[in-house]
Chains A and B, each alone.
Chain A
């Protein structure tokens, strides 16, 4: 299995990342991907931007662990995870998870598994800029519940 993990400030190109997954092997029959975007509404309305930070080194290691767990459950040819850090605006793409597999079932399941655990385990933190001032986000209960369904 080929993996690509990148924590970066620059925007990623979903089309290029998806095509790259398809070039990994002529065995690949299915590619699924998830792209997360910054919204202008979260727990409060009027989010004008986000600032994201991470724990360099540990974050990449955690993402590699989550991908390795997915590869034990499903047959995967290639996985790409890209997560942006720094200042982001509403509508900016923030995270990309792409999975290439022989068949769609494995690709769909692994993609959802990876984003669910990335949200609850990987060391990233979001600070929202709102009209009322900046505030650190807290973990969503719904994200924790989503991850628990895989246990």
Chain B
């Protein structure tokens, strides 16, 4: 299982703020996105594949090829707008 967290527009578009999900053999963020798309449908694939989406694994910025292992915290969010 990995812990998923979604922020801002990503959370609103998916209608989910956090979830515990089985990885089903996924070893990278990209594979996890594929697994989630198969599990929850094309909306998830569309939202999690947006060009400007940002990803953090265990609270550090990561790319689609970043490895994931059970227990990881994987967050998806749009570009930041603080300050």
Contacts and interface: CB of A to CB of B under 8 A. Distances in A.
B82 A124 contact: yes
Interface residues of B, number: 15
A115 interface: yes
Given A53-B7, A122-B80, 4 more contacts: A58-B59, A58-B75, A119-B83, A137-B81
A136 B83 contact: no
Given A58-B56, A58-B59, A123-B77, A136 B9 contact: yes
B7, B75, B81: which has the most chain A beta carbons within 10 Å? B81
A36 B78 contact: no
Contact of B80 (A94, A115, A125): A125
A100 to B, nearest CB: 21
Contacts of B83: 36, 83, 94-95, 115, 118-119, 122, 124, 143
Question: Interface SS of chain A: helix, strand, loop or mixed?
Answer: mixed
Contact of B59 (A61, A94, A118, A139): A61
Interface of B: 5, 7-9, 56, 59-60, 75, 77-83
A57, A58, A115: which has the most chain B beta carbons within 10 Å? A58
B5 A139 contact: no
Contacts of B56: 55, 58, 123
Nearest to A7: B82
A124 B79 CA distance: 9
A71 interface: no
Counting from the closest, the 10 A-B pairs by CB-CB distance are A124-B82, A119-B83, A125-B8, A58-B59, A139-B79, A137-B81, A136-B9, A126-B81, A122-B82, A118-B83
A139 B81 contact: yes
A102 B6 CA distance: 42
B9, B60, B80: which has the most chain A beta carbons within 10 Å? B80
Nearest to A127: B8
B80 A120 contact: yes
Contact of A83 (B9, B81, B82): B82
